[in-house]
Amino acid sequence: MSRIISTTVYTLDELSDAARENARNWYREHALNDDWYQNVFDEFTGICNILGVDIKLYRIPLLSGGSRQHHCIWFSGFCHQGSGAAFEGDYAYQPQAVYRIREHYPEDADLHHIADLLQTIQLHNSGELRATIRHHGLHIHESRMTVTVERHSLSGQDMTTDSEEAITEAIRALARWLYDWLESEYGWQTSPAIVDNDIIDGEYTFTTSGQRFG
């Protein structure tokens, strides 16, 4: 036989400090927007375009029978040592990269350094280096990215001996930079102030211990 049970629910500001933290943890685990990182991915793709990296696309089939394209960019979360980010694409020289990166991101010394690394090795090879960037294995980390470099020289010149190492260093540094950005964005999205605002805006209610109810 069914029964009606009444209970009192509370808004976030009515909870004790301990219960409020339980409510925040619920939101972080169950209500945080799954695509919070999409804006980061979109801007990162634009940064890659400036540097000369064309991010590869892959297709995801839809239940409707069609498909949707996503960029080959991945990250593995922030809970374990050795977590990281990786991407796939193709790289070619962009002569204006060092200037455009500084124009769009004047305060980001790490991005400047990456652009400078690519520029320097390209100038040693007449701007003729190209690279294929691929990720291998299940572990998401820049160390799992392989960078295959070739010199497309009309005169048949070989690339300098340090070319592949230098390009690989720059590309992996770019993946580390992306991971740091994602971690910073996640920290902001899950900070108490932002989570509290989202809970209040969503009009979520809780039991006295901070468990989601209502």
Residues 113 and 208 occupy one common structural domain: no
On whether both 28 and 40 belong to a single domain, the answer is no
What percent of the chain has pLDDT above 70?
A: 99
Instruction: Please report the pLDDT score of residue 23 as a whole number.
Output: 94
- Does residue 133 have a pLDDT over 90? yes
Q: Give residue 133's domain range.
A: 34-189
Shared-domain flag, residues 23 and 95: no
Which residues lie below 8 Å from residue 90, measured CB to CB, with a gap of 6+? 53, 54, 56, 130, 131, 132, 133
Number of domains in the chain: 2
Q: What pTM does this model have?
A: 0.88
pLDDT at 155 over 80: yes
Strand partners, 147: 133
